[in-house]
Structure 1
Amino acid sequence: MNVLLVYAHPEPRSLNGSLKDFSIRRLEAAGHAVQVSDLYAMDWKASLDVHDSLDHEDGVRFDPSLASRHAFERGTQTGDITREQEKLRWADTLILQFPLWWFSMPAILKGWVERVYAYGFAYGVGEHSDARWGDRYGEGSLAGKRAMLIVTTGGWESHYGPRGINGPMEDLLFPIHHGILYYPGFDVLPPFVIHRTGRIDAARYARIEDELGQRLDTLATTAPIAFRPQNAGDYAIPELTLRDDIAPGRSGFAVHVA
């Protein structure tokens, strides 16, 4: 299996750095091919702007989606974007590893998504009609691939529980799981989350490595989150709302999981 690990932490000697190195060793020992995009080490440019198109004309109004579409179609994207898209095409499984900062991924990783997920590559794909609304949410250019998050947070597990002050972890990660990963077609695996990272001793670190190793060993067989496909009949089109007979009386993120 080909695995792409996109890693976002600025300190190689951090817990995240140690776990990244462990994941690479574990995956390669199991016979998998691994590529790593270490965004801080790469000095990844996070901002999407006119400079992402090699043929942008000075003085012309910048439309991010239109510029992305034209650059992708014409082959005039910058080399860093094209290389990351090639890695995604190559990968059978994508792992995003990051610390939860201010209830989301670090800005550098969000910038990777915004620039690499070009129009025509990860969105704006497929037919739009009365029967379907593009190839997305379970379909798309990345369908058939798997994805998993490795997330660290300083808060206690209870802080992210069903009644925790920070909100349920599954809700906080929903925009990433459902929007960034499921939208272009990935089968999204349950995340591997490490809580209370400031309180990790040698014994707990060994347990974390063991648990993470088991998740890495089962990347190909772990059942994905059962998100509802957009074009399979659960949603009215073009409204893109759940049919009245599905999860009646309920709302919120959870209704989009079967």
Structure 2
Amino acid sequence: MATAMSRMRGLEEEKRAAKKVLIVYAHQSSGSFNAAAKDAAVEVLAAHGCTVEVSDLYAMTFKATATAEDITGEVKNSDHFCYADETKLAWEEGKRCADITEEQRKLTRADIIIIIIFQFPMYWFTVPAIMKSWFDRVLTSGYAYSQDKRYSQGIFKDKKAMLSFTTGSHESMFSANGINGDMNITLWPLQNGILHYCGFQVLAPQIFWAPSYVPSEARSTMLEGWHTRLQGLLGEKPLSFTPLDCFDGEKGYQLKPEVHEKYATKEFGLTVGIHLGKVIPPNSQMKAGV
């Protein structure tokens, strides 16, 4: 009897410790490189004991506009509708529409989901509209962030997130000297302004440079590299962001004087968006530990 109870407890502990991965995927074609990258993530992470769930936004026909339709029942102020205020109230009162409720349910299993991967083709230097809508409609005020719970003190600070995407331009074009500009700067609004803002530990992005413009052998090599990375993904260290307690909330969240002093003699600033007028630190949005 005791042995049976011990086994049951062991199974329950194993279940609680199960590793959960959510992939938010945005591509219309099952034959695309993005689909292959998504499938690789599902295959490798499942083989490593993870339970992988995929939100296929196009297949779900996920609504791409943030409107009053996202709230069931009456809104508080129909004459001057404020999406952030109304969705915060809807979250508190359980008045969210079905698709938002479902996506938040996937994330709210916070004790067991350890990483969320966003897989997409880069459109106009950012995510496709349907994925931007996922951010707008799912990561709502109160649920995903608040004035007291954001950045390093954010609601999802115990979870990891990462971007995995394809580009339409070669890597050289996204360099500091390239015509598209430094990819680190391009990524700052997404990785800091959305993911880190909600508290996520942000893993270095997986970038597939211009797969449409390289030979099939090069695409195969890209996928092989992704397979290799996925095998150790759960143990990766996140990118570095300046902690919230380095800022003075009573002075408009400006860097504290002692932080300025610490970096006064350093060559580089803190990070892409907070560089103290210095040279932007290289690859701070691309690699951990730089």
Q: C-alpha displacement at 1:201, in angstroms?
A: 3.0
1:245 CA displacement: 2.0
> Which has more helix, going by share of residues?
2
Cα distance change on mapping 1:147 and 1:60 into 2, 3 Å: same
Relative to the length of structure 2, the TM-score reads: 0.80
Distance in 2 (CA, whole Å) between partners of 1:163 and 1:242 is 29
Instruction: Letter of the 1:172 partner, please give it.
Output: T
Equivalent AA in structure 1 for residue 166 of structure 2:
T
1:208 matched to which residue of 2?
Answer: 222
CA distance, structure 1, for counterparts of residue 214 and residue 57 of structure 2: 25
Alignment of 1:61-76 (within 5 A): 61-76=80-95
Measure, in 2, the Cα distance between the counterparts of 1:186 and 1:39.
21
Q: Does 2:249 align with 1:245?
A: no
Q: Say which structure, 1 or 2, has more relative contact order (CA 8 Å, 6+ apart).
A: 1
**8 Å contact from structure 2 (residues 70, 97) kept in 1:** yes
Instruction: Find 2:46's aligned residue among 6, 15, 28.
Output: 28
The separation in 1 between residues aligned to 2:85 and 2:197, in whole angstroms, is: 20
Question: Quick one: which of 159, 173, 176 aligns to 2:173?
Answer: 159
- Corresponding residue for 1:131? none
* Alpha-carbon distance in structure 2 between the residues aligned to 1:59 and 1:171: 38
Deviation at 1:4, TM superposition (A): 0.3
Q: Pick from 125, 134, 139: which aligns with 1:103?
A: 125
Q: Pick the aligned partner of 1:148 from 162, 180, 183.
A: 162
Mapped partners of 1:248, 1:80: distance in 2: 49
Q: Tell me, which stretches of 5 or more residues in structure 1 are unaligned?
A: 126-133
Aligned length: 248
Q: Is the 8 A contact 1:50 1:56 kept in 2?
A: no
Residue 8 of structure 1 contacts residue 108 of structure 1 at CA under 8 Å; is this kept in 2? yes
Q: Is the 1:8–1:38 Cα contact (8 Å) retained in structure 2?
A: yes
Distance in structure 1 (CA, Å) of the matches to 2:125 and 2:115: 24
Q: Who is 2:10 aligned against? A: none
Match of 1:135 in 2: 149
Shifted more, 192-201 versus 98-107: the winner is 192-201
2:239 corresponds to? 225
SS of the residue 1:253 aligns to: coil
Matches within 5 A, 1:37-48: 37-48=55-66
1:2 alignment partner, SS class: strand
Quick check: 2:211–2:219 contact (8 Å CA) kept in 1? no
Paired letter, 2:273: F
Query: Which position in structure 1 is the counterpart of 2:21?
Result: 3
After TM superposition, the structure 1 = structure 2 runs for residues 173-188 of structure 1, keeping only pairs within 5 Å, are 173-188=187-202
Is contact 1:247–1:255 with CA below 8 Å preserved after alignment? no
Shift of 1:254: 5.5
Q: 1:47 to 1:144 in 2, by over 3 A?
A: same
Task: Give 3-state SS (helix, strand or coil) of 1:48's partner.
Answer: coil
Gaps of 5+ in 2: 1-18, 277-283, 285-289
CA distance in 1, matches of 2:91, 2:217: 48
Deviations 1:39-67 (A, max 9, x none): 01110001111111102259543111111
Deviates further, 13-22 or 184-193? 13-22
SS in structure 1 opposite 2:120? Answer: strand
Alignment-mate amino acid for residue 61 of structure 2: D
- CA shift, 1:202, in A, is 3.2
**Which residue identity does 1:236 align to in structure 2?**
D
User: Does 2:29 correspond to 1:17?
Assistant: no
CA–CA distance in 2 between the matches of 1:44 and 1:205?
29
CA distance in 2, matches of 1:59, 1:202: 54
Matched, 1:121 2:133: no
| Structure 2 residue 105 is matched with structure 1 residue 86 | yes
Tell me the residue number matched to 1:235. 247
How far 1:96 sits from its partner (Å)?
0.5
Question: How far has the Cα of 1:255 moved from its partner?
Answer: 3.2
